[in-house]
Amino acid sequence: SSGSNIGSICRNCLAFNVSAVVVIGRKDFRQKMRMADRGAKTRLKFLHFLTYEEAIADLKDNSPGGCHFIGVEITESSSPISNTYFDSLFKSTSNLSTPSNVAFLFGNEGGGLSIKQRVVCEHLVHIPQFSTGGMASINVACASSIVLYTFATWARYKEGTIQGEKFV
């Protein structure tokens, strides 16, 4: 819900070739981004829905081959995210054939994904931590960059062009 997080997530989505960002509820989300999006909000496709149920139904009905939901949530039964995870997921799920029909659900930083959101997810993944004691979780914008980068490299998306010291 933080404007900085929303803007940063949008930058990550643009950087890692996300086809659309789904926003539920807030109609003023573009204004809330402040400057954290660095222009991404004008270059991304947004799908806005008033309710979670509307969003899920639309994505399932209007995505080629349906839409498959992967929740990003730390649970004892979630899988650590990795290229190997995506290899096994796509091999074991016959109707999950292309990266274009996957949607990642990122929960609220305070409470994570709700039970209602978890139920729609076919799979739950988490980002492994390697320190003893660890953190309860990492910032949602940081989590989105790790998950989207991992997926983009697994899907072998073509790297963008570098001009000077920036991608163009």
- pLDDT tens sequence across 84-122: 788 777 776 555 555 668 899 998 777 889 998 999 998
The pLDDT score that the predictor gives to residue 132 is 82
Average pLDDT, the chain: 83
Residue 5 burial class via C-beta count within 10 angstroms: exposed 0-12, middle 13-18, buried 19 and up: buried
The pLDDT score that the predictor gives to residue 127 is 93
- Tell me the CB-side half-sphere exposure of residue 68, using CA atoms within 13 A: 17
The pLDDT score that the predictor gives to residue 94 is 54
Find how far residue 104's CA is from the centre of its chain: 4
- The amino acid at residue 59 is L
Angle, helix 140-154 to helix 3-15, in steps of 10 degrees: 10
The angle subtended at Cα 36 by Cα 167 and Cα 147, nearest 5°, is 65
Q: How many CB atoms lie within 10 A of CB 29?
A: 19
Segment 41-49 shows an average pLDDT of: 83
**119, 113 in Cβ contact below 8 A?**
no
Segment 71-77 shows an average pLDDT of: 93
Range in 66-80, 89-103, 104-118, 147-161 with the lowest mean pLDDT: 89-103
